[in-house]
Amino acid sequence: MKTPRLGVNIDHVATVRNARGEKYPSPLRAALLVQKYGADSVTIHLREDRRHIIDRDLKEIKERIKIPLNLEIGPTKEMVNISLKYKPDYVCIVPEKRKEITTEGGLNLKKNSEIIRKIIKRLKAKKIRTSLFIEPDFNAIKIAKKINADCIEIHTGKICKYLNEKKNIKKEYQKLVKSIDLANNIGLEVHAGHGITFSSAKILSKINGIKEFNIGHFLIGESIFIGLNNSIKKFKKILKK
């Protein structure tokens, strides 16, 4: 089986920058280094409130990196227009609530399928690979296929949290495996992301059928101690199995 790709989410470089209102640390510099150190793509989330990545980061990063840019957006008119303007290689549509600390769960496709179907159509017309961030849920996976998503990204937050808290993951793990199988069987490319650490990556990388991991908070945090290069290399080694 092919080694899954590693997308590195650099949002939290911008979080540190914005904490002081300075120009450093620079997300562009992080994106270029992430590319140099062997990541397969760079992920950024342009939030409605611009709490980390801002429009200028998106523009600069898109202009300068050679590996694919994966832009995470909420399903809003503003974000779709921005995506069509800057044409990232990939878009991942995520739910977004202003008050959340991070993306708390997957999209509610039961409720929003028509809006999201139209967004997918517009993005795919510009040849942007479109992914939907969802929970490991059979219904959501079937709807994602029905509304023409290219890929799904499974929200791994719950299983990663259970692992951090040393709780039993058996049920969550089974749910993940079955969901990933279903998605692959109906022709969706499967990605995984949220809350992944070195130890959860070791467990998740053993599941067949995940083509891409998107990892941010832990990887950037770990870089403070071991450097961005080593943090990326260590994740890549784990994903290689």
Closest separation between CB of residue 160 and ligand PXP, Å? 8
- Work out whether 233 is an interface residue with ligand PXP (CB under 6 A): no
Q: 214 to each of 49, 57, 59, 87, 104, how far by Cα in Å?
A: 22, 19, 21, 19, 15
For residue 168, give the amino acid letter: N
| Pairwise CA distance, residues 201 & 215, whole Å | 9
Active site residues: 45, 72, 194
Closest separation between CB of residue 155 and ligand PXP, Å? 7
Q: Which of residues 127-146 bind ligand PXP (CB under 6 A)?
A: 133
Q: Please say whether the beta carbons of 141 and 106 come within 8 A.
A: no
Residue closer to ligand PXP (CB basis): 157 or 209: 157
Task: Choose the stretch contacting ligand PXP; rule: CB under 6 A; options: 25-33, 47-55, 202-210, 215-223.
Answer: 215-223
Which of 195, 200, 204, 212 is close enough to bind ligand PXP by CB under 6 A? 195
Backbone region of residue 187 per phi and psi (left: phi > 0; alpha: psi in -120 to 50; beta: other values): left
Residue closer to ligand PXP (CB basis): 101 or 125: 101
- Work out whether 92 is an interface residue with ligand PXP (CB under 6 A): yes
- DSSP H helical segments within 21-76, as ranges? 27-36, 55-64
| Pairwise CA distance, residues 213 & 22, whole Å | 30
Q: Which of residues 47-86 bind ligand PXP (CB under 6 A)?
A: 72
Q: Which residues bind ligand PXP (CB under 6 A)?
A: 9, 11, 45, 72, 92, 94, 102-103, 133, 153, 193-196, 214-218
